[in-house]
Amino acid sequence: MSPFLGLILGILLLVPALLIAIPVHEMGHAAAAYFLGDRSVRYFGYFSPDPRRFLDPFGALAVFVALVGWGRRVPVQSNRISTLRQKVLYELGGPVANLLVAVVLGFLLRALVRAGLPYSYDLGPGLLLAALYAIVFLNLSLFAFQLLPIPGLDGWNIIEALFRNRNPRFFYDVSIRRREIWAGCVVVLIAFQFFQRVNLLQYVMAPFFEPASLISVGTCVGYTIPGLVFLYPCLL
């Protein structure tokens, strides 16, 4: 296969993965909010399968640029999601939803491989297996990425829920400087990639990604768009 065709197929296979993984993540938050007592998420249509409700343009672009991403945050009523336990469970709802989908589809992927279905980029059944692999990978990627302690991601929101009352000024300062923090993170990632030839995301995501991937597909997986980007968050 030519590098150009590999590039095109690598990108195209991410499209259905994106249309599944990001809505699953946000609907996971919505489901958590609903079961915690906030029924507004159902009223405002956050259980709709329409991906347009959940996709954020920059978060979708990040999927093709860095193989990570995010969606439009599901708003909740603060008077319904107010206790520490409720806030933490709400934030965990998105990553847990991605993990559950990755595990279920990962078992299906393993079963199809054992049944002898080929994995290939050729038109036919093998291409369906490649598309399923991309869906499993991106759900694992979102699960691990969203748990990172970066402002705006679920991991940071959990930390904020746990410790905000102890130092509200610190978390307020972080919230108003979120863009600068993200810009700094991007600069660090680019610097490591350019000078060290290292994708730093692989190392920071691995503690979450690797065990989840082992549960899902029995091995640690990665994804490559030839000539554009690769992500293999596995340390072993």
The verdict on whether 91 is a catalytic residue reads no
140 domain-assigned = yes
First to last CA, the chain: 29
Pick the closest to residue 58 from 73, 69, 50, 74 (CA basis): 69
Summarize pLDDT for 48-63 with one digit per residue, the tens: 878 888 999 999 999 9
- Residue 106 CA to residue 218 CA, distance in Å, equals 8
Phi-psi region of 27 (alpha: psi -120 to 50; beta: other; left: phi over 0): alpha
Phi-psi region of 116 (alpha: psi -120 to 50; beta: other; left: phi over 0): left
Q: Tell me the mean pLDDT in the region 148-175.
A: 94
224 three-class SS = strand
113 domain-assigned = yes
| 181/236: higher pLDDT | 181
| Domain count within the chain | 1
- Classify residue 55 by its DSSP letter: B
- Catalytic: which of 26, 91, 160, 210? 26
- Residue 212 CA to residue 28 CA, distance in Å, equals 17
Q: Is the dihedral of CA 39, 44, 50, 54 positive or negative?
A: negative
185 domain-assigned = yes
194 domain-assigned = yes
Summarize pLDDT for 191-236 with one digit per residue, the tens: 988 887 889 999 999 999 999 999 999 999 999 998 889 999 998 7
- Residue 227 CA to residue 7 CA, distance in Å, equals 7
Domain of 163 in residue numbering reads as 3-230
135 domain-assigned = yes
In terms of DSSP H, where are the helices of the chain? 3-35, 40-43, 57-66, 84-114, 125-146, 154-163, 168-176, 178-191, 200-217
235 domain-assigned = no
Q: Residue 128 half-sphere exposure, CB side, CA atoms within 13 Å? A: 8
Summarize pLDDT for 123-147 with one digit per residue, the tens: 667 788 999 999 999 999 999 999 9
Summarize pLDDT for 76-88 with one digit per residue, the tens: 988 889 899 999 9
Pick the closest to residue 212 from 138, 132, 129 (CA basis): 138
236 domain-assigned = no
- 201 Cβ contact partners less than 8 Å away, ≥ 6 residues apart: 66, 68, 145, 189, 231, 233
